[in-house]
Each structure stands twice: as C-alpha cells, then as structure tokens.
Structure 1
Amino acid sequence: MKKSLKAVLHAVFIGVFLVASAKAQTSYELNSGWKCTQVTEVKADGIALSQPNSATQNWMPATVPGTVLTTLLNNKKVPDPFYGMNNERIKDIYNTGRDYYTYWFVKDFDEAAPTNGRQVYLNFRGINYSAEIYLNGKKVNPKTHVGMFLRESYNITSFINKNGKNLLAVLVYPPNPVGNPNGGQGGDGRIAKGVGLQYTAGWDWIQPMRDRNTGIWDKVTIEKTGEINLKNPHVITLVPGVRKIAGIQQPAIIKASAELQNPTNHTVKGVLQYVLDGSTVSKSVAIQPHTTTEVSLADFSLKNPKLWWPNGYGPQNLYNLKMSFLVGGSVSDQENVSVGVREISSEWNTETHSRQINVNGQKVFIKGGNWIISDAMLRFSDARYDAEVHFHRDMNLNLIRVWGGALVERPEFYAACDKYGLLVFQDFWISGDANGKWVDPAKADDQWTRRKYPDDHALYLKSVSDQIKLVRNHASLAIWCGGNEITPPEDILLAVRDTIMPKLDGTRWFVDYSNSDKMSLNTMGGNGDGPYGIQPLSAFWVDRTWPFNSEVGSVGVSDYESLQRFIPEKNMVAPQYSAEKKSSKVDSVWDYHKYIGYDASIDPYGKAESAKDFAAKAQLVNYDQYRALMEGFSSHMWSWYTGTIIWKTQNPWTAMRGQMYDYYLDPNACLYGLHSGSEPLHVMYNQFTGMVSVVNNTFETKRDLMLTARTIDMNGADSLLTQVFVEAQASSVKGFVSLKRVVERRAKSKGVFLCLQIFDKNKNKLSENIYWLPDANGNHSGLQKLAASQLQTSAQKLNNGKIEVTLSNPAKAPMAFFNRLSLVDGSTHNRVLPVFYSDNYVSVLPGETKKILVENASKINNPQLSVSGWNLSEQFIHIN
C-alpha cells in the first residue's frame, strides 16, 4: 500500500513538473548555434538564405547576443582590443566603410506550426543599428528595422514550417554615420546623429569600438501564446505617509495594467488578472480583432506591506506578481513581475537649493556613482551585472547614475539594483559633448547643427517610449533624465516630459538634464559638475561646490596584478612626475588606456621605484581620495548638499581612471575608502578644523554611543585622546570634539595614526576609522620607515559558504598597516574573481583583532588567501 501510494505521488509530481516545465517553455532564447558572414561574401538574398539547404553551413560561428567585433574576437580574427595597443591593430569602420562590418546572421531552430489559434512571436530586444529579417524564405519585417534602442516583436505564426524546421536570416547594418574617431568626446560627434551609443567613437575614458557595436546585441526570443498576447505589464505602488522600517505598516495601493494584443480575426473574451501575496485581482474584458488594448485593473490595497528600501536604510523586500490572461479558464499568456513596494518622491530643499530624494516619505542623502555600461563590447550577463551592483552595495552607495552616452540599462541590471537597494538615475541618449553644448574643434558640425541631433526625432521618441516600458516596473528606478549635461532638442524634450512620461510612467521625477538648475542650483558659475582628477582633501571638506553634484572625482589606477592583465611587461613603467614642470612622463600604453595623473600625490610616500611600487602607493591615494570625498560631502549634508555622485565607479574597458574595481572585477582601494567614508553610521575627522563628527545616515536616532579617539605612533604606542558618550540624531551629522592641536603636535615629527571608534551600549564596535596623517612637511616620513608587521592571519570556511578571515596584531607591535586580502587559486596564486570582502586594505591596531568575511562567487578546488600590506610581505594562508 505504501509503495503504491509512493508511486502515485511520484506520478503526480512528474505530472506537475511537466506542466510547470511546459509553461516555462512558452518563451525561450535563441542564444546559440548562430552563424554569420560578411555581406560582401554573399550573393544570395535573404529569401534564399532563409530557406532549407542554403549554403550557410561553413559560415563563421556567431556570438548572439553580441556584436560583430565580439564574434571576430571569439573566432580569433582580431586581437583582444582591451589589451595593450591591440585596438590599433583592428580596422576602424570609418576607414573601411560600413560594408566591412555589415553581416548576415543565420540561425535554425525547431518549432512546430501552432494549432487551435495559438500564436508564435519572434522578439528582438536590441539590434544595432538597422536590419532586414527573413524566416523560411519570407520577409518578416515589412519595413527595415532602424534604431538601437527599440524592441521589435513579429508574429511569425504564418511563417513557421509545418515540419517544425525553421531558418532565420538577419542582415544587420552598422550605424550611419559611424563618426570619425578623431580623439574628441564621441569623436567628431556624428555618431550622435543616430539613436544609439555615443561612446563607441571614443571618449576620454575609452578608445573607439571599431565596429561601433554593430550586431544583434540583445536577446532574441521565441514566445508562444494563446490567442491573446499579454504585453508590457505595468505595476505602480503607492505608499502614502512617512514610513518607518519596522513595525506594522499601513496599507499600500497597487495599481496595475497591461497591453493585450489580439492578432486574430475575431473578438476574444477573457479575464485579465494578477495574483499578489495570495490575493487575486481580475477583470473581464473583450479584445477586438487586430488590436492592442491597454486594460487597467482595479486598485488593490495591500495590507501590512513589506516595503523596499534603498541600501543602508532597510531591507529590499520583493514580491512576485503573476499576471495572466485567461480564455475559458486556460492561460493564454502570462508575465511575472518582481515588485518592490515603495514610493519615491522628490522636493526642492530650500536650505541647499537642490533636489531632495525621498523614499517612503523619508529623505535620503544620495551617495551615488556614475555608471557607463557593463562591457564596452556589450558582452552582458546576469552574473556580471549582479557582481558589479554587488560592489556598489559594498561601497555603501545608494544610487547609480546611468550616463547618457550609453544606453537605458537592461532589465537584468535593474533586477540587481532591486536586489541590492541601489536607486537608479537613468539618462537618455544625449550628451553635451556630441550634442552641441560647447565649441569643439574636434566636431565635424557646428553647435547649431549638433543641437538638432539626432536626425530622426520620431525614432528617438518611439525608442524612449519603448525603453520606459521595458524597465518602469523596477523598484530601483528613481529618476529619469533628459540627457548628460544638455537637454535633447526642445521638441523631443517637451514630448518626453509633458506627454510620454506622464502617460507611460508619471511616478518618477524627470529632470531635463544631469546638471540642471532644477536639480542643483548653480550660483558659482562653471559647468555645474566636477572637479575631476586628484584633489587636495580640502577640496572635499572645505570648498563648497554644487549642492547636488552629478559628477565629481576620477582617479582609479588599480594594483600591479590588475595592470598586468592588460599592460605588456615592457610597458610596465611608472609615470615620472616633475614637480618643477608640474607634468608627468607617461608610457604610451598607459596613456592609450587613459591614465590620469596622480601628480605629486605619490611623492609623500616616497618616489615610486617601479610600476609595482607606484601601483601600491596609488592605493593609499585612492583610499584617501574617496574616503575624503564622501566624508566631506556628508559633513555638510542638508546644509550645503542633498547628495553627490562620483565620476565614476566602473569602467567597461581597461581604462586607468574612475573605477572602484577594474574591468576584470578586481577591486582596488578606491572601493574600500568609499566603503569606509559612506558607511551608514560613521565617525570621521576633519583634518582642516580638527573636528571629530558622527554621520548617521539612517532613519533611527542612535543613543548611548561611546566615541573614542586615540593616536598610535610609528612604534605602536597607543594614546587615548578622548572617550565620550554621544547621541546621533537620525539623518544628521554633528561635530563633537576638536583634536586639531593635539593631533598636529603628535604628527609633527613622523606623522601619526589617528583611530576613531564608535561602540554601542553593549560595547559592540559599530564604526572604526583609521587615518594616517603626514608630518609637519606633508610627508609620510614615519610610514616610509615603519617596522615590519607582526600580523597573524587565519582563515576558515563557514557553513554558509563564506570564508572568515581573522587578522590579529600582537600588543606592542607596530601598526599592521593597509593589508590587502585576496582569494587566490592555490596552485597558480592567481586571484579568483569576482570576490566580495566585507572590508579590505585593512589596518589592525596593536593588540587588536579584526574579522573579515569573504564571499566567493566562483568555485575552485584549492583556494588560498593572499595577505600583503604596507609593512607585510605577501603570505599565502591555508583555508581551514
């Protein structure tokens, strides 16, 4: 009996699994088995090429999604353009002509001809730039597809072969014009005449992409539905009032709608419904033949909602909303929407004269980073998106701005931002450089002409509408922006702001351009963003700048192991800075990869003796720069500033500036300086006034905090300066004690370490901040002679798969200063990437112990831990 019951349950389970699998297979990607060839190699047309037995068997394997250049690289037809000077060895489309990068792509797939009114759709999420599409000997698109940022969906029900064997052929043309990559921002600017990427003609942080990213660059899917296709579901969450993180929540309002497409010759009646948190909301509708109709459902009151909060303020709760259209009780089509219940608003802060962002009624001090694109050659993946956004979470940031010379980011990027709590400031495809804000001798057209770019305004507006629908459901999307440092042409701006945005979204603030006075009132002249490059720390602490700065910062040279990945050994030459000439002599490969000068900032640590020494000392500068940047802005939050956005936090190419981690996802000290300076509860020291302050970037007042300050000299002698109970009001910054005279006196001879700590009433350490302060001459003379570290390190795997590293420094030992941890392959000692560290570039006081958690996104058989520091030679630690 038991055996019989077990067999029945097993059969039921198999049946349920098969039903679930069948539903899951209503959509699938065409992401392998593609072939391609250059258009000049083919005499046949698309009708012939898309028929069985066409002569495409010997074509080159193609990478789809991907670009022509990606395919050529994967087939070893070109060298890696990210290494050395290889990019100069690849032919540029401006010189070859567009035919050189115009390609045919073909793909065969199995799909049986549908019956009983069922429909099949061929969906393209992105083609750059124009295309003709053929299937089984027939033209699919009546008009040429044009535009990089425009999804296309074709009903191919009547095109499917009865035998289930199908052949798809796509002819892809590059952008037109392609622009001259003459060294200007966006080259000669003409790349902006189209509706596409602008950086591909080159910028001050990247060399030109030789094919201008031509290709089927985003996902291609086959979707199967019943008679009705459910498209573009839209979910809005309203969270009235000022909310707390914990406790019972008042209800939230859920508003939902969807487009219903009926391609048949008859009216179809059915029910549009969604299920959320166990409740169902539905509506009976009739969809007329050959129409697409938007249907709105009744508002739903979600009881005691689990709210979504930005990083650092609360949890990122997400609900799964399942929306479907039923005909006769059977599902015709279904879409799943990940919903973060939150409400984002903005208001003008009269104190700062800038925009203030509120989430669920609470004001949020914006700590952001500028983002270009995940990969310059559009090699996107869910895993890479997740890793990059994870790093931004680890920086203790709460916003990412997607820059206007690139794209509206992919849903997978937004899903990662939803997961990690990063608000998104999304630009559209306009930039002051290419679109005419400034006089620029590198540009082919004058400002009046460039101001009218792009050429096809209707295509631009159609693309904007489509991309809004693509990503508008994501909780993380907070701000729409008309363009980078300039608005689109007025007819585009007015249409987007006054018609398209209210109709398709209407829940988010739209700012005309990234440094608009409507975002940050500029009363100081200049462009309203910057400064860029190395700054004296006083620039962040003392100098008042724009009240919501959309771009500030820029350095980011990584360490030696990172540089080795893309710089040939013969070019490993440290920049040589001349204080007299105030200029640097830089190797040609460093210059090609957009090195930005560290100038005199390295010298206080001692002249760089080699590229390896330079890169190591650069990490000290990196850490100091980005800690000071965020501390300085935070010290004036709500009085001078409502936020700041770093230029920039990542690179899509192997550039040497503006990055907290390199292209290969290896973090540098910028990340951890920012991690420190941006922590939600943070104690900090203003070196120019001597004031010790506490920043509380949470919504809760913190009481009974013990603040301690001490100095540690270069021999390890520890002297307590103060120990006092303090209170940190919610969302505030307050100074508590000035230590300027005593700290300067102790630093005068050799420099000194200043350690600030905060403890809660249970003596748990909540924040620690260690500064290395120079001597009276501005040099780190003591650091240059610091005795060898006595650091003791152990590591063990935890049950949750993480690794716990314990760093112990014996009493009366010198400071164990600036230690880099790296998870490595035990056999090669190469770093495992990406890996996430709860902290890094860590200093350990004499007599103290620190624990670091390591989260490894990769699996290797024999991992070890590398530990090296300013006064510690590299060691390899076995992981227990």
Structure 2
Amino acid sequence: MTYRLPFCLLCALLLHLPLWAQTQRELNSGWQCLPAAKVSVQGPALSQPSYALTGWAPAVVPGTVLTTQLANKQVPDPFYGMNNKHIPDIYTTGRDYYTYWFVQDFTEAPLAGQQQLWLHLRGVNYSCELYLNGQKVNKQTHHGMFLRQAYNITPLLARNGRNRLAVIVYPADPVGNPNGGQGGDGRIAKSVATQYTAGWDWIQPIRDRNTGIWDKVVLERTGAVNLKNPHVVTRVPGVRLPTGPQAPAIVQVSAELENPTAQAVAGALTYTLDGHTVSQPVNIPARATKVVSLKNLSLPNPKLWWPNGYGAQHLYPLKMQFVVGKTVSDVETVDVGVREIQTQWNTKTESRQVLVNGQKVFIKGGNWIISDAMLRFTDARYDAEIRFHRDMNLNLIRIWGGALVERPEFYAACDKYGLLVIQDFWVSGDANGRWLDPQKADDQWTRRKYPDDHRLFINSAADQVKMVRNHASLAMWCGGNEITPPKDIYTALADSIIPKLDGTRWLIPYSNSDSLSYNRLGGNGDGPYGIQDPRSFWGTRTYPFNSEVGSVGVGDYESLERFIPKANLVAPQYLGPASKNAEKADSVWTYHTYTGVGYNQYILPYGAPKDVRDFGLKAQLVNYDQYRALMEGFSAHMWDWYTGTIIWKTQNPWTAMRGQMYDYYLDPNACLYGLRSGSAPLHPMYNPVDSMVMIVNNSFAVQRDLMLVVDAYDLAGKKTNITQVIVEINPSMAKNYLPIGPLVRRMAKDKGMFLSIQLLDLNKKVVSSNFYWLADAKGEYSGLKTMAKTTVKVTAKQLAKNQISVTLTNPANAPVAFFNRLALVNPQTQQRLLPVFYSDNYVSVLPGESTTVVMDYPPGGPAPLVSVEGWNVEKQLLPVGAN
C-alpha cells in the first residue's frame, strides 16, 4: 500500500526541511537500535516508515554497540575500576550478542530536475546490509571497517518526503580470544579492522570489538554530476626559508566526476585558490566516472606551510566546482598547505632524514594509538590532543598500525598545529607473525598471511589514501607496525596505490625497517621501553631514527582518582632494597596496565612514598626528568647519531597508566612539560655524562648575541654564578660550550643542588631557560627531603575570555620554590577544569624572581579558581583578580 500525505501537509513539511544550498548534512541524531536477535522482521519490512519501532532504544551514531549500551546505562563505564572485566566479551557471548539493527527516520525534500541524493557511510565495523524504504541499498554485503560506502539513493526516496534507513551491522569474524596476548590470540587480525580491541599491554579488551556504525553518515545532494575525491598536490622547488619573498610554487589539482544519469553531461571543472581560477571543460559519459586533471597553477609568492617550531602553518581555502551551464552541480572544498616533503638518506647516521620545503627537519615525534578506544571522536577532542602535542614542541605523530587511518578531523588539527604524520596501515608484528608467540592461535606462517581477504585490504587502503591525501601534515605512509603486510598487499601499496593515488610521499616498508633506520645494534630496531637512567639517553647510542622509545606516564592523585575507586587508591608497596625492582601493586592498578618497572628505583631517592598522593607527586618528578632527558639526549646528537626519534607513546585511548603525556581525561602530567622543555626549538641544556653545557638550535636561522648564564643554587637558595658569556649558534645544530663538572660535583656532594641555565637577549629578556635538580654524591635527593618551605605570592588576572595569567613571585633570600603544579578548578567542586592548556607547568621559581604562566580554559561554567601547590609550597586557592 502506498501511503500519501495531503498536498497541503506535504508542502508544510517541506518548508521545514534543510535548505539545499547546504549540499551535505550529517545523520547524527535520532537513531534507534535493537539487538538483531530481538527483531522479528527482515530488512524490507523494518525499513518501511510505517513499521512501529516499539521497544527500541536510542542509538549513538556515529558510535559502537558498546557506546550505545553505555549511553543507555546497560553497561557500566568500562574505563572505570574493574568495570570492563564485568562486561560480556564477544568471544564468550558469540557474535549474535553484538549484532544490531540501527534505524534512522529522516525527511527529504523532493529532488528537482537531475538532482541526485547520495548516502555516505564513512565507517562501519565490520559488515552490514542497508535497506531504505523497503528496498535493499547495497546489492552485496559490505565488508571492512575502513572501506567507505557511497550509494546513489535517488530512486529509493519516498515521494512524501518521509524515509527510513535500516542498517544491520555484524561484528568481525573471527573476533579473537582476548587471552592476554598482544591482540589476544591474534585472530582479530584475520579481518581488516582495529587489532587493539582484543587487548594489548596498554589496554584491556574492548568487549564488542568496536562493532557498529562508528563513523559519520552523511546525505549529500548534487546535480547530475557528483564531484568527489579531489586531489591537490603542491610542489615547492628549491630550499626555502619561512620568512621573506618566495619563488612560485606549483599547484596540481585533479578530481573524479561521477555521472549516474542515462545521458552524457557536459560542463566545466573549476577551482579557485588565492584569487586564481583554473577551469577546464569536461564531458562525462552516461553512467561513468572520469578522473580529470586540470592545468597546473604557478602560485606567486606563496605563504608556505611549515612543521611546528620551524614556521607558520598557513592554509589556503580551495573551492572546487563542477558547473553545468550556469548551474553548480557539486562543490568540494579543501584546505591547502603549500609545502613539499621529501626524504633522503643520511650516510653518517645511516637513517632517513625528513626535508620540508628543502630544509632538513630533526624529527621529535610521538606515537599515537587512537583518540578514544571506543571510537567516540569529536573535533574538540582531536583539537585538544593535537594542541598538547604542539605544546610539547613535537613536530611529528606516528599512527600505530594496530588502529586505523586517522580521521580527516585529526588531520585537520595536525594541519592547524604543524604536526607531520607517519600513517601506518593495518598490520602489527605481534598479530601478523613477526615473532613466535605461544599465546597466538595460529603459527607464524599462517599469521603472516593475515588478513584473510587481501583484496579488501588493498581496496580499503586505496580508499583511505584518497580520504586523507590532501592534508599538508601527512608526511609518510608506513606498511605496518614492525612488519610489512603480505607480499601482494605491499606490492600493491608500493607499485600502484601510493604512486598513482598520492605520488608525493615515501612508503616505509614497516615502522622499524632498515630503510628508515639501519639497525647495527641487534634487537627489534626500537626501544628501550620503560624508565631509563636519564644519563643513558645522553650516553648510550640507540637506533638512528628510533620509531619507539620510552613508556612511562603515571598521573598524579587527581588523575588517578578519576578511574580508580577510593578503596584501591593505595600506593604500590616497595619490597625493600634487597629486591629493588620489585613491588606489589593493587589489582585495579595492574588491570589498568601499571607495571611499575623501574618507578621504585627512581622514586625512592626522593623518599619512600607516604601515601598515594605522595606517590603521585614523586612520580611526576620522575616523569619530568625522563622525558626532558630523552629529548635532550637525542637532540644533543642530531645529525651525528640521530635524524629523529618517536616516543612510545604520547597518549592513551583508555585509562591506562603508562606511555602518556596526559591522561584519558585530557589532564596533563609532568611528562608533557619535561618533554616541552627538552624539545624547545632553542634550548640550553646540561649533559650529565660529560658535564658539558650545550645549546640546541632547531631553527633555520643563526642565533647570535645571546648571553648564556649558568647559575647554581644550593638547597637554601644561595646563588653561585658559574659563567656568563655571549654565544652564537648556527642553524639546525647542537653545540658544546663548556664543562662545569668539578664545580657541580663539589656543590651537589652533600645535599644535591639546583642548576639554572638561561639564554638572554641583549635586553636581558629570557629567550630560553632550563632548570635541573641534581642528586647528592650517593644519588639521593637528600636536600629535597629536608628542604625549607617558602611562601609564594600568587597573582592571577584575566587576559581575555577564557584566558588567565598567573604570576608566581618567590621572596628574595628564600629557597627555590620548587616544582609548582598550577591548575584551574571549579569553585564548587574544586575539581580541575579539563582540558586546560598551560604555557608551562611544574615550574620552579628562583629566589627574588617571578614566573608567569598563561592558561587557556574551556568556555562555560562559573569563573574558575587558581590552584598552586609545590614541593615546598603550601597549596593555595584564589580567585582571578586576587593578589
């Protein structure tokens, strides 16, 4: 039976539909769902708008079954305590338990003339069938987590404007046994999907394996021709500088034009960039897709895009249209960063080095898993996380191969903040057979052939390349994490997909391959992991482009209490000097991947933790020292031992307790600020191995007329000037200046000491500074244990909306105000506002001096209070404007 609305009611309905000057809209609300086992009808009946959805629950789309269950309070928060352990795992329940129907009712105004309506699904995991208004949309079952879907649904639309889309989503098969191995038993890798969902050493299993419509669903209205997959390439010949006039850059643009109609369509493909217009007439045959390349544009005096720390990240808006007569058939926009990325082999280090716009860039990177393990992605969270990486003075992020090709919104944030990206494809050494592993269900030979469907992998890779290739931040592709994909897949990537669909970026065979970093040291070509003696980062040579190194990051008390129940907030128990590296930790801590390997060795010199709050504070001292030393040690040997390093890892998508500069809730720990210091573009530093004072210059300009000032402070605050000298340093180099070992050892012998190193300009303004706390002759921080208190004056003022500056002033003749943690807190709850971006944190203030920290905080809510608390500074809470 055909259901018809009265004409007047239909007109009233259509008046309230979106105006189609907006060519796209996202279907991100109003979804309903039900387990497939509870649905008694098939897709054709279910997708009829007249079918009653009695008993159905609201669904989270984009999202997963687990995010929907959590939103409907059917499961507890799997990120808190031991909750995840009590959620049914798909390996035990069977796939039917997490097989779900998702339904969306939407209204659509009538199409005019040759207008077309397209349905886009950017990610479904793992397979699905789609129905619209009683008709099947996809002729064949869709498979693959990473393969986008696009359907012309014009013939299936209801005349009365009321439509129903019904999608049944099936989990991956097999789902893998989460037996505690890396990727569980490995069989999750038989599908083209995220591997971490079966568990890893930094996460517990995701119980539904991310089943669901996990990425955006979009309706797009076009004319007769659909403009898709635009491709913009920029060529920047020669060696450039970030400032001054620029020689022209070359812009190369192409796009696909799809004509689904029964007649050929003639029109013009046109784009505009920086006031320049390029156009070309095109004829597209009926029911055909055509790739069209436009004439190259020579862009005069371009504003170039540079990585973080080297120059600005200028982005040009490019608007592309296909026009038929005077009618615009379709429009796409691209933000274009004009830059060229190259790589070359450094024969001295025997590793690859990266060049941007002809200039070599020393890589200071972080490994990234995924923003949220349950795929709850938002533009705001992406922006915050990438901003944290910018604030760490990093210039690269590597996307680990057990996750996904990151979303365009991630790349947009990297474009904005200047983070280059190495993007892995979807294999890992653990699941895909690099090593013998008794926890794996299949032998190495079998695992080496994963996934089961190589053609699906190849098609998905080609599609994802098209999705993100226009982003300026995308620097290199990588075959996989610690292993190449199977031979036929890698051949397709290397010989066809990357050259034809990208054509500008290098493909690394795998993340620690010899073609990236020649391995003369044995081992796997990356690491070490865990806490190191800070001296080792300076004195022990590792891999010349280390793709993974370091892995600590326990948060402070305020971070821990967000996901650990109060009864379990117990500091790890150290078992005494006879077993110095052994400790006993609460089961909730170990469930959240606390390993503790080495923490006790480096916390005990500050004194055994009195309680969990004291443990959290002392862990931050270790965190800060670790990551400052890591980046300083690598930078000290740039172009000699190293061309770059990538930290394992800088963030966690779950409430884990290792490898993170900020916690899952976006609260930074001291790792972030130690790394920020050690990675500063112009940075004075102290080599603990040979006692040399050094300077690193990561810019492209000579830094001259700088005063290097080195001062020592004892634990009472008495200052001793060690040296003060005018210095100069050439671009992109590390330089030794003077050894200060005898004086430092003499001053530090009994109680330890503080060391201040500053670079000042000729106006006595601090350009860059560094502050160390050094142990006594026994390796203990005995002076810190008995250090006198000081009273810091705190002044807070509103600089702008959602921006506050806080100045800490330490009285003269006082001890150093050591290791102060600043925060903004809610005045009612005294809980930290998150996220807050600090110009610095865990700051120390010298006697008689002041330090100012600027904080950007989220809008909304009451005016925050400022919190300041230090090692020898009592906690203060004060409102903005108070003195």
Which TM-score tier does this pair reach, normalised by the shorter chain?
over 0.9
State the 1:489 CA deviation: 0.4
Letter in 1 for 2:845: V
Contact 1:533 1:596 in 2 (8 A): no
Query: 1:785, 1:344 → 2: CA distance?
Result: 53
* 2: CA distance, partners of 1:43 / 1:253: 59
**Cα distance in 2 for residues equivalent to 1:58 and 1:279:** 56
Q: Which residue of 2 aligns with 1:239?
A: 236
Equivalence for 2:315 = 318
Bigger mean CA deviation after superposition, 864-873 or 59-68: 864-873
Name the SS for the 2:800 alignment partner: coil
What is the RMSD of the two structures over their aligned residues, measured on CA atoms?
Answer: 0.9
- Amino acid in structure 1 at the alignment position of 2:800: N
Displacement after TM superposition at 1:22 (Å): 4.3
The aligned amino acid for 1:818 is F
Q: How does 1:191-590 map to 2 (within 5 A)?
A: 191-578=188-575, 579-581=577-579, 582-590=581-589
Q: Distance in 2 between matches of 1:782 and 1:93?
A: 54
User: For 1:210 and 1:46, how far apart are their aligned partners in 2?
Assistant: 26
SS at match of 1:817: strand
**Residues of 2 paired with 1:683 and 1:188: CA distance?**
48
Whether the aligned pair in 1 keeps the contact of 2:706 and 2:760 (CA below 8 Å) is yes
Q: Which amino acid aligns with 1:878?
A: P
The answer for the alignment partner of 1:874 in structure 2 is: 875
Residue in 2 that maps onto 1:828: 829
Query: 1: CA distance between counterparts of 2:788 and 2:424?
Result: 50
* Deviation of the 1:411 alpha carbon: 0.2
Amino acid of the structure 2 residue aligned with 1:362: Q
**How many angstroms apart in 2 are the aligned matches of 1:23 and 1:42?**
35
**Which residues in structure 2 correspond to 1:592-603 (within 5 Å)?**
592-597=591-596, 598-603=599-604
Q: Deviations over 1:688-731 (max 9, x none)?
A: 11000000011111001100111111101011000011101100
Q: Is the 8 A contact 1:177 1:190 kept in 2?
A: yes
Return the alpha-carbon distance in structure 2 between the equivalents of residues 538 and 756 of structure 1. Answer: 18
Q: Deviations over 1:119-147 (max 9, x none)?
A: 00010000000000000000000000100
Q: Which residue of structure 2 aligns with residue 745 of structure 1? A: 746
Q: Distance in 2 between matches of 1:737 and 1:791?
A: 34
Q: Does the residue aligned with 1:674 lie in a helix, a strand or coil?
A: helix
Alpha-carbon distance in 2 for matches of 1:305, 1:859: 39
Mapped to 1, the partners of 2:277 and 2:334 lie a distance apart of 14
The residue correspondences of 1:458-857 to structure 2 (distance < 5 A) are 458-578=455-575, 579-581=577-579, 582-597=581-596, 598-799=599-800, 801-857=802-858
Amino acid of the structure 2 residue aligned with 1:666? D
Runs of 4+ in structure 1 off by over 3 angstroms are: 21-24
**2: distance between equivalents of 1:155 and 1:732?**
56
The amino acid across from 1:355 in the alignment is R
- Residue 580 of structure 1 deviates from its aligned partner by 1.6
1:71 to 68, 72, 77: 68
Q: Deviations over 1:403-427 (max 9, x none)?
A: 0000000000000000000000100
- Distance in 2 (alpha carbons) for counterparts of 1:758 and 1:77: 58
CA contact (8 A) 2:564 2:588 kept: yes
Q: Secondary structure, in 3 states, of the residue corresponding to 2:620?
A: helix
Give the C-alpha shift of residue 57 in structure 1.
4.0
CA displacement 1:451-476 (0-9 Å, x = unmatched) = 00000000000000000000000000
1:14 equivalent in structure 2: none
In structure 2, what is the equivalent of residue 54 of structure 1? 51
**Change in 2 beyond 3 A, CA 1:476/1:23:** farther
What CA deviation, in whole Å up to 9, does each residue of 1:267-324 have, x standing for no partner? Answer: 0000001000011000001000001110000000000000000000000000000000
After superposition, give the CA deviation of every residue in 1:648-684 in whole Å (9 maximum; x if it has no partner): 0000000000000000000000000000000000000
Residue matched to 1:11: none
Counterpart of 1:104 (choices 80, 86, 101) is 101
How far the C-alpha of 1:55 sits from its partner, in A, is: 2.5
CA deviation after TM superposition for structure 1 residue 52, in Å? 1.8
Residue 245 of structure 1, CA deviation: 1.0
The separation in 1 between residues aligned to 2:646 and 2:286, in whole angstroms, is 49
Deviation at 1:81, TM superposition (A): 0.3
Residues 548-598 of structure 1 show CA distances to partners (whole Å, capped at 9, x for unaligned) of: 000000000000001000001111111122332231111100000000211
Q: Is the CA contact 1:112–1:160 (under 8 Å) kept in the aligned structure 2?
A: no
Return the offset for 1:877.
Answer: 1.7
| Cα distance in structure 1, aligned partners of 2:876 and 2:791 | 12
Deviation (angstroms), 1:859? 2.5
CA contact (8 A) 1:824 1:831 kept: yes
- Equivalence for 2:3: none
Q: Distance in 2 between matches of 1:726 and 1:735?
A: 11
Q: Is the 8 A contact 1:354 1:518 kept in 2?
A: yes
State the secondary structure of the residue aligned to 1:255: strand
Partner of 2:11: none
Aligned to 1:5: none
User: 1:823 & 1:57 partners in 2: Cα distance?
Assistant: 46
- Residue in 1 that maps onto 2:12: none
Identity within the alignment, %:
66
Counterpart Cα distance in 1 of 2:322 and 2:763: 55
2:182 maps to 185
* C-alpha distance in 2 between matches for 1:586 and 1:441: 27
Report the Cα distance in structure 2 between the residues aligned to 1:113 and 1:68, rounded to whole angstroms: 33
Aligned counterpart, 2:31: 34
Q: Partners in 2 of 1:141 and 1:674 — Cα distance?
A: 49
The amino acid across from 1:95 in the alignment is T
Give the whole-Å Cα distance in 2 for the aligned partners of 1:857 and 1:226: 41
- Asked whether the 8 Å contact 2:79–2:655 carries over to 1, the reply is yes
Give the Cα separation in 1 of the matches to 2:378 and 2:859.
Answer: 15
Equivalent-residue separation in structure 2 for 1:57 and 1:229 (angstroms):
38
Structure 1 position 25, deviation (Å): 1.7
TM-score (norm 1): 0.97
Q: 1:468-515 deviations in whole A, cap 9, x for unaligned?
A: 000000000001000000000011111101111100001011100000
1:827 CA displacement: 1.6
Q: Distance in 2 between matches of 1:539 and 1:753?
A: 21
What is the CA–CA distance in structure 1 between the aligned matches of 2:79 and 2:19, rounded to whole Å?
A: 42
What are the Cα deviations for residues 163-192 of structure 1, in whole angstroms up to 9, with x where unaligned? Answer: 000000000000100000000000000000
CA contact (8 A) 2:759 2:768 kept: yes
Asked if structure 1 preserves the Cα contact closer than 8 Å seen for 2:802 and 2:858, the reply is no
3-state DSSP class of the match of 1:298?
Answer: coil
* Greater Cα offset, 321-330 or 571-580: 571-580
Equivalents in 2 of 1:697, 1:55: separation in Å? 64
The structural deviation recorded for 1:23 is 5.6
CA distance in 2, matches of 1:151, 1:49: 24
Does the 8 Å CA contact 1:252/1:303 hold for their aligned counterparts? yes
Structure 1 unmatched runs, 5+? 1-17
User: How far did residue 394 of structure 1 move?
Assistant: 0.4
What code does the residue aligned with 2:786 have?
K
Q: Provide the residue aligned with 1:12 in structure 2.
A: none
Distance 1:354 1:521 in 2: 6
How far apart are residue 115 of structure 1 and its match? 2.4
Q: Deviations over 1:141-160 (max 9, x none)?
A: 00001000010000000000
CA distance in 2, matches of 1:24, 1:75: 36
Q: Deviation at 1:799?
A: 3.3
The normalised TM-score by structure 2 is 0.97
Matched residues, number: 861
